[in-house]
Amino acid sequence: MVQLINGEYDEVYGVNGAQVNIDQLLETDESLYRYVIRKFSYKYEDIDSIPPEKLKKEIQKYYEDKGVTANITQRISKDDPLYGASGKQTSLHSAM
């Protein structure tokens, strides 16, 4: 999560483990939160009413435009017990 928010590392490599989810990012990254509010405020009452796939795509675009995702490598084994608990529908692991 620190790489996404601050871009502090030259390279990040992750294997399995708990994935960063959208709620965590919105709570931690104030710039992202403001961006999402501006982007969707005309159409949705609040963040919770934004369709998850639209929100996920916009957050991925935000971090790609910020230039912090290029050096993130994530390997995920579907056999790992944490995979099922990762909340994959609301996490960003599939993008990295």
- For residue 96, the model assigns a pLDDT of 45
Yes or no: say if 12 and 3 are a contact pair by the CB < 8 Å rule.
yes
- Kindly report which listed range (13-17, 47-51, 89-93) carries the lowest average pLDDT score: 89-93
pLDDT at 88: 47
Task: Take residue 67 and report the two structure tokens written for it.
Answer: 């230039």
pLDDT of residue 36: 93
Helix or strand run (H / E) with residue 73: strand 72-75
| pLDDT recorded at residue 94 | 47
Distance from chain centroid for Cα 18: 13
Query: Computed over its alpha carbons, how large is the radius of gyration of the chain?
Result: 14
Cβ proximity of 59 and 28 under 8 Å: no
Q: What confidence tens digit (pLDDT) does each residue in 20-78 have?
A: 778 888 988 899 999 999 999 878 778 888 998 899 889 889 888 888 777 766 666 77
